[in-house]
Structure 1
Amino acid sequence: MQFDVLKDIREYVFDPCGNRVSQVQPELESAEYGACTFELDGLKIRFRISKKTPTKTGQFVTLWKRSKEGPIVPFHRNDKTDYFIISAKDENRFGQFIFPKQVLYEKGILSGEKPGKLGFRIYPPWDLAGNKQAKKTQDWQLHYFVESPMNKSVDIKRVKYLLHL
């Protein structure tokens, strides 16, 4: 599944934008979320696939690493990652959140001065946020979303803008 999704993103998003994907490395402990790292034109990317959950609106994704001591911990703001790309999909729609590391740190997801989170909910534009907090979260997240329309061109300018290319 992970490589099918990554292959689709490469074909429908990165290739049309002229971006080069290299050094793809699966992260086996988070394989359930399609976890891998790769480089995109020299940028260090951590990739995940979000999952629908049966009882809540939005989708869930984990974002953790194993510490040297053994337990899992949130990613840290000083980890060597430039962007976290999270792929979201429903029956007819597909897209990616392209989050800069700094944004996830500012939102309390990456650790640093605050403890960070092991996972969080994402709200693609096709999900109706069910409460005020979910709507507030969706509002900031959509600034980093690019849809990959089926059988249509991706917004190349938006992808380049989000990746600062």
Structure 2
Amino acid sequence: MKSMDYLASIIQKISDWPLTDIKLEEQNKEYEATTFSLANRSFRSRRGKKTTKKLGYFVVFWEKDAELKNKPYDFYSAPDKLIVTIFDENKIGQFIFPKKLLAEKNILNYGKNKGKMALRVYPDWVTGLNKIASTTQKWQSPFFIDLTNNWDLQLLKKLYFS
């Protein structure tokens, strides 16, 4: 999987810890869905998909409940971070979202919030957004790193490990 291979190359540069407990999430495999652990932290990884009708990149994250119905991830069982890797022609980037933020943005099932089963992400290079998408890009921006031309290793460490 391209996104996990890329992620593993990043980890080699920013950590002495190995990736462990790597598991493919079959229900979302078209998004290269994976969970893993690193340095006592848990992660969920996805590859964002470019769509033809809307700007940005689409990503899903859901699981099956006891009745085998799709449901959003739950805050209490969610990994510490969600990583969304973007490959778009010559552009590459990653979003590294902490689960607390995902709960605050009503993406994880938490308290009275039912959560969402998908999300659209907007790297800094996406322009011409409508007001709602622009607002979303604004809160996502601090958790995005453009990896197209070089890697800011300090920022990567901060996003992965803080």
Alignment TM class, shorter chain as reference: over 0.9
Moved over 6 A (4+): none
TM-aligned CA deviation for residue 43 of structure 1? 0.9
Structure 1 residues 82 and 129 mapped into 2: Cα distance closer, same or farther (>3 Å)?
A: farther
Per-residue CA deviations over 1:109-158 (Å, capped at 9, x if unaligned) read 111121111101100111115201100100110110122235x3x11111
Per-residue CA deviations over 1:78-123 (Å, capped at 9, x if unaligned) read 1141111111121111111000001011001111121111101100
> Which residue does the alignment assign to 1:65?
63
Q: Structure 1 vs Structure 2: percent identity of aligned residues?
A: 33
Q: Distance in 1 between matches of 2:18 and 2:27?
A: 26
> Which residue does the alignment assign to 1:120?
119
Q: Distance in 2 between matches of 1:80 and 1:140?
A: 20
Q: Distance in 2 between matches of 1:114 and 1:80?
A: 15
> Which residue does the alignment assign to 1:5?
3
Q: Which secondary structure state, in structure 2, belongs to the residue aligned with residue 16 of structure 1?
A: helix
TM-score norm. by structure 1 comes to 0.91
Runs of 5+ consecutive residues of structure 2 not aligned to the other structure: none
TM-aligned CA deviation for residue 35 of structure 1? 0.3
- Map residues 1-165 of structure 1 onto 2, 5 A cutoff: 3-11=1-9, 13-18=10-15, 19-112=17-110, 113-150=112-149, 152=150, 154-165=151-162
TM-aligned CA deviation for residue 160 of structure 1? 1.6
Q: Distance in 2 between matches of 1:123 and 1:33?
A: 17
Q: Distance in 2 between matches of 1:77 and 1:130?
A: 29
Letter in 1 for 2:153: I
The root-mean-square deviation of aligned C-alpha atoms, in Å, is 1.4
Q: How many residue pairs end up in the alignment?
A: 160
Runs of 5+ consecutive residues of structure 1 not aligned to the other structure: none
Kept after mapping to 2: 8 A contact 1:36/1:48: yes
